[in-house]
Amino acid sequence: MQVYADNAATTKPSRTALDAMLPCFEQFYGNPSSLHHVGQAAAEVLLQARQDMADCLGCEAREIYFTSGGSEADNQALRSAAWAGARKGKKHIVSTAFEHHAVLHTLEQLKEEGFTVTLLDVHETGRITPEEVEAAIQPDTCLVSVMYANNEIGTIEPIAEIGAVCRKHGVPFHTDAVQAVGHVPINVYDLNVDLLSASAHKFNGPKGIGFLYIKKGVTIHPYANGGSQERGNRAGTENVAGIVGMAAALQKNTTQIEEGQRRLKVLEETLVSYLKQAGLDFIRNGAENHLPGNVSLSFRGADGEMLLHRLDLKGICISTGSACDSVNTQVSHVIKAIDVPKEYAEGTIRITFGADNTEDDVNQIANAIIQVMLESK
C-alpha cells in the first residue's frame, strides 16, 4: 500500500480544485483579453478568482499578480526590488543562508551584476531574529528577503517583526511564503510585507501556477514583455483553469487551517514518539515553532538517500530534503546552515504529512524506518 508523505515537495490536488477547474476547459475557455462574450466570460471568472484569493490573504484583488509558480514569483520580486534600488544608487540586499534556491541562485546572479549580498547565518533551529536583520541593514540596502517557513525543516520565521524593522528603515521586504500559504493563517497587512511569493501545488492546487503579492504603491519590473496581462507586469495569456483551481484550493485550505494544524501535529508527534521508543539515534531538526506536519530527522551513521530508496521499495514516499534539488544528493545547504553534526547530517530525511495522511500511514512509516535502520546495522 502506497503512503505519500512528501507534501512539502508537492501536494495532491484537492477534489475542490479539480471540480473548479473543469468548467474552464469546457465553458470558460476563451482568452480573457478577447472582447467578445466568450472571452469576457473567462475574464469574469479570472476576476472572481483574484478576488477570492485576496479575501483569503486580507488584501486587495489588484495586489495579486499571477505567475507560473513560486520560483518565478521569487525571481520577479528580487529582481524588481534590486533594479528599483539600483536606480536610486542602492545595491545591497539582505537575506539568509538557508533560503530556497530560487532566492539564493537569483542573489548569486545579482552579485554578478554588481549587487552586494549579506546572507545571515541562522541559529541551530533555523531561526533568525529581527535584531540580526536590523544590524545587517545598511544605508544602501534595497531589499530584505526572508522565507516565511523553511521547506526542509519547517522552521517559521518572525516575519511580522522583521517586516516592522524593514518599515522602520524604509527598506522593501519580501518573503518566500511558498511553504506557508494555505497552511498557516496569513494576513499580508499584518505581516508588514511588501512582496510575498506562493505556489498553488503546495496547498493542494494545480502545478504551474502561483502568485506574487505586491503591496499597493510598490513598483515592480515586468517579468516578461509582450501583452498587457497582469497590468503590464507579466505578458502572456492567463492560465485561467490553473488560477481558478488555485483560488478554490486556497479557499478550502484557509477555512480548515486550525483543524488541519491540530491533526498534523498529532501525526508528527506520534511518529517521533514511535521512533524514540524504538531506541533509534536521531536528531529532530527545526524550531518548536514550525510548519505542522513537517518532520526533518537526521539519523546517526545513516545514509539519507539509502533510507529514501529503501522506504520507496516499501511503498513509502518521503525525501531527503528539497525536491527542487534532488539531483544533488550531498548534505543540503539547509542542514549545513543549522550545523547538524556530520555523523547525523548525512542521514537526514524529510517526512511531510498532508491532508490525506492518517495514523495508519504514521504506523507504516515508523515501522518501515525502524526495520530499515535495524537491518542496516
Q: Could you report the per-residue pLDDT of 209-258, keeping only the tens digit for each?
A: 999 999 999 988 887 788 888 888 888 999 999 999 999 999 999 999 99
What's the CATH class of domain 15-255? alpha beta
Average pLDDT over residues 166-195: 98
| Domain ranges for the chain | 3-11+257-375, 15-255
Find, among 244, 241, 337, the residue nearest to 285 by Cα: 337
Catalytic residue among 56, 59, 142, 324: 324
324 belongs to the catalytic site: yes
Q: Residue 355 pLDDT > 70, yes or no?
A: yes
Cβ contacts of 69 within 8 Å, gap of 6 or more: 199, 200, 201, 207, 208, 209, 210
pLDDT the model gives residue 306: 95
Q: What is the rounded distance in angstroms from the CA atom of residue 144 to the CA atom of residue 81? A: 9
Confidence band of 147 (pLDDT split at 50, 70, 90): very high
**Superfamily designation of domain 3-11+257-375:** Aspartate Aminotransferase, domain 1 (3.90.1150.10)
Q: List Cα–Cα distances, 181 to 20, 143, 224, in angstroms.
A: 19, 22, 25
Element (H, E) at 315: none
Residue 2: other Cβ atoms inside 10 A: 10
Which backbone phi and psi does 70 adopt, to 5 degrees?
A: -65, -40
The model's pTM is 0.95
pLDDT the model gives residue 304: 96
